[in-house]
Amino acid sequence: MKLALSPMATLTHEALRILIHRYGDPDEYFSEMIHAPSFVNNGPLEKWYVRTAPEPDKMVWQLTGSTVPSMARAAELLAPYGGIGLDLNMGCSAPDIAKTGAGIAWMSKPSAEVASLVRAVRPSVPGRLSVKLRLGEDENYARLLDFCRILEGEGVEMVTLHPRIRKDKYSRAARRAHVARLASDLSIPVYGNGDVSSAADAVAYRSAYPCAGLMIGRAAVQKPWIFRDIREAWSIPAAGNKAGETVQPDPAPEPAVPHSSVDHLEVSRFFLETLAESQPPEFQISRAHRFFFYYCDNFTFAHHIKMRIQNAKTPGEIEGLLEEYFVQVPEDRHTAGRA
C-alpha cells in the first residue's frame, strides 16, 4: 500500500515537504492546488507552486480549474516539471472553488464534458493521470461508480476518494467503506483519504478497508513524522511470497533528526527558516498561520497558543510566541515523536 501527502491549499508547499523529509518521505507528495487559468497566464506567484524539493521524482501536480481549454493548456505547461504525474481536482468543496465550476463541481457536470476534459489532458501527461474526488452531492454509490468508470474509460489511471459528500464538514467521519468498495469495483488503483490520524489508525484502515494507498493531510502537518511511523507499524506482504509470509517495508533513508525525541521549538524554527527560503514574502505569514494551526495540536494548551499565533503579523513574531510558550510550559517542548 502506498502512502501519499494530500494536496492542501497553503500547506503542501516545499517547506512542509522538506520538514516531512527529515523524518521519512511518503511515496508521493501532492502539490498545492495549481489554478489552471493563473498558471496559463504566467501569474507572478505561480512559479512558487511548482518547486520540487525535496524529492522531485515523488511529486504529483494537482490542477484545478473550470474549463477544458485552460486545464489542457496547464497540463501541457506542467509536463516538463516531471514527477509521478498530474492529478485533476474534482473534489474540493470550498465554496469559492466550487461556485466557479471547479473542484467538486465537475462531479455534477454532464458526463460528456467530464470525458472531454480527461481526453484533452491525457496526451500532455507523460506520467500517471489521476483524479481526486468526493462522494458527490449525496451518498449515491451507483452514481459515484458510474462517474469513476467514465474517468477510467478515458484514461485516468488512479483515483483518490475522500469519502464525504459536498456539504460534510470534518466533524462528520469519513465513510471509509466506500473506499474499499470502489477499490473492489474499479480496475485502476484507488487511494483512500480522510481522517487517518496515527500509525495505529493506518494499520486499522489497511486491515478493514483494502485499497491501493492512503493519502494523509492534516495529520501529516501536525505530525510530520507520521509516514515514518506508519511504515514501522506496517508489515507488508511481498509480491511473490508464499501465502501468509510477510516482510517489513524497504528501509527509509536515515532520518536527519533523532528517532527518539522531537524538540518542538527546533522543529518550529526549522520550518520557519525553510519557509523563508522556499516561499515568497507574500506567502510566508499565511503559510505559517496554517501550519501552526495544526502543529499546535501537539501542545497541552493548543487553543491558547493557536489563537496567539493566528494574530501574529510576521513569522518572527510567531517564533517569539513559541519561545515564550515553552518557557511557560517546558514539558511540552519535547515529545517522543511518535504518531
> What pLDDT, in 10s, does the model give residues 13-61?
999 999 999 999 999 999 999 999 999 999 889 999 999 999 999 999 9
- Tell me the pLDDT tens digit for each residue of 245-284: 344 444 555 556 656 689 999 999 999 999 999 999 999 9
For the record, the C-alpha cell of 288 comes out as 505559517
**Average pLDDT, stretch 62-76?**
97
pLDDT at 237 over 60: no
- Give dist(CA 4, CA 21) in Å, integer: 13
pLDDT at 129 over 50: yes
DSSP state string for 262-322: EEHHHHHHHHHHHHHHHS-HHHHHHHHHHHHHHHGGGSTTHHHHHHHHHT-SSHHHHHHHH
Residue 237 per-residue DSSP state: P
Quick one: pLDDT at residue 170? 74
**Average pLDDT, stretch 318-322?**
98
% of the chain exceeding 90 in pLDDT: 87
Query: Nearest CA to 1 among 158, 189, 179?
Result: 189
- Give dist(CA 320, CA 338) in Å, integer: 26
pLDDT at 97 over 60: yes
Beta bridge partners of 30: 60
Q: Is the bond preceding 163 in cis, omega lying within 30 degrees of 0? A: no
Instruction: List Cα–Cα distances, 337 to 195, 225, 333, in angstroms.
Output: 20, 7, 11
- Give dist(CA 218, CA 17) in Å, integer: 13
pLDDT at 203 over 90: yes
